[in-house]
Amino acid sequence: MSKKHHPVCLCGAYPFPHRLGSGKCPAPYYICSECKQECYMLEKDFGIGSYECHGYRGVHHDYALVSDCCEAEVLDRCVFTF
């Protein structure tokens, strides 16, 4: 039987790596790369939408995870290992 690996957090709640969400560790949040504030992560579609090329129709999607405040790249507060 294999061991189950839990996500590891490196926040300032403890001076050592610890299990995410345990004890004094707060709920996971992210840091906006633009304004450096705490934020939530959103999934946004930056695709071109519907298109037609040589008679073939399709829909292009380009999903990205962005911050809810500036729609910039999010920096992860925690390091996850699985």
Residue-by-residue pLDDT tens, the chain, 82 positions: 445 555 666 677 788 877 766 677 765 677 888 888 878 777 888 999 999 999 999 999 998 888 888 889 888 765 443 3
Report the domain count for the chain: 1
- Helix or strand holding residue 9 (H, E): strand 8-9
Tell me which residue range forms the domain holding 31: 8-76
Residue 1 lies in a domain: no
Q: List CB contacts of 42: < 8 A, sequence separation 6 or more.
A: 65, 66, 67, 68, 71
Residue 82 lies in a domain: no
pTM above 0.75, yes or no: no
